[in-house]
Amino acid sequence: MTAFDKGAYYTGEYRNLFKELGFTDSAVQAKLEQAWADLLNGDPEIRIYYPLGDDKGYLLDTGNLDVRSEGMSYGMMMAVQMNDKEIFDRLWNFSVTYMQHSEGRYKDYFAWHCKPDGTRLSQGPAPDGEEFFAMALLFAANRWGDGPEPFNYSEQAKRILRACIHQGEDESGGDPMWDPATKLIKFVPESLFSDPSYHLPHFYDLFAIWADEADRPFWREAAEASRAYLHLACHPETGLSPEYANYDGTPAAVQRHGDFRHFYSDAYRTAANIGLDWAWFRKDLWQVEQSNRIQRFFRPIDVADYRRYTIDGTPFEEPALHPVGLLATNAMASLAADGPDAAHFVHLFWNTPLRSGERRYYDNCLYFFSLLALSGNYRIYS
């Protein structure tokens, strides 16, 4: 038995796939540190982080010129993984000050997007932000310790998780972010369907350790439910999943804001999430063949030719809006894949730079998570 026959949660050992392919420790560390520096303070056409005043900062969605709970929580996860407490605290201070609701039907949830000055553009939340906020805060508490409010990280995380499953149980109204019957995360609290790329069973297994004691059984069930759900949402031949899917895994109906039945931007994250779940916990052997499957689908396709696809693999004329992000997630699938394409995608990713230009935000978030994961630096802090 090798150190990697069990997940990193049990062994404390994290694979460095770059090193396995011959890259030196110093080269890998330099690449990681340079990418972080570029995102924070690099070329204006690459960076996505901007300070605000003396104690706040934000990640800018450069394609839409707004600040999103997705990006803020992503940035916090990146910062805790990089041991960058200053950036973490600036991002959290912005988020809790401008985005988190203090009352009403969305109490303790975060407005999903706002202007760079903190003015809210929408009040409603997007659950992928809440789950990343909570996990990043718990890691921060474990890595750095709690401080004075709002930097009492562990209590802030528990407050978010409490709302995610209990919202609406009192007179304030509102809706929980997880469907109580299926234990599946919703697309938004009011919706009756999910988003496969929101499913993070590896986070829920950790919530089941650190959330309020009374809620820990729920999180254990949610982890099992999400792993089973992904079997249904990912196509059995291509491995592709839709952006939105019903609780039975079938693509959700066309929405008034668009058609999300296909494999497009949101859906890219599903492969990365499955890879990280396998790296951390190794609870579902299906994840290995699923990762092989999606890599097998994309191996013959040049990154410049990535498209929108139906989940059975039929391409549209419409090109991928975030091809570097898609490459990054295909590479991150190598954490679980054991097929002949795993090394190919890691090499291809290594040789691809951060994206520049207007649409760089989403690509570069996925890029940095993949860089962390493939170098063995996307870790559990306990």
Structure tokens at 308: 């929108």
Q: How far apart are CA 171 and CA 24, in angstroms?
A: 58
Residue 305 has φ and ψ, to the nearest 5°, of: -105, 10
- Can you give 324-349 as a three-state secondary structure string? HHHHHHHHHHHHCCCCCCHHHHHHHH
Residue 332 has φ and ψ, to the nearest 5°, of: -65, -25
Cβ 201 vs Cβ 227: under 8 Å? yes
> Among this protein's residues, is 237 annotated catalytic?
no
- Determine what percent of the chain falls in helix, strand and coil, rounding each to the nearest 5: 50, 10, 40
Q: How far apart are CA 272 and CA 211, in angstroms?
A: 24
Cβ 66 vs Cβ 361: under 8 Å? no
Q: From the candidates 66, 128, 130, 266, give the one annotated as an active-site residue.
A: 266
For residue 109, the cross-strand partners are none
Cβ 114 vs Cβ 98: under 8 Å? yes
Instruction: Answer positive or negative: Cα dihedral of 65, 70, 72, 76.
Output: negative
Q: From the candidates 61, 66, 70, 179, give the one annotated as an active-site residue.
A: 70
CB < 8 Å & 24+ apart, contacts of 246-250: 246/192, 246/193, 246/194, 247/179, 247/182, 247/184, 247/192, 247/193, 247/194, 249/196
CB < 8 Å & 24+ apart, contacts of 5-9: 5/282, 6/282, 7/278, 7/279, 7/280, 7/281, 7/282, 7/283, 8/279, 8/280, 8/379, 8/380, 9/205, 9/280, 9/281, 9/380
**Tokens 């599946």 appear where?**
184
> Among this protein's residues, is 155 annotated catalytic?
no
Structure tokens at 152: 């009492």
Q: How many CA atoms lie within 13 A of 204 on its CB side?
A: 25
Q: How far apart are CA 47 and CA 70, in angstroms?
A: 17
Return the active site residues: 70, 266
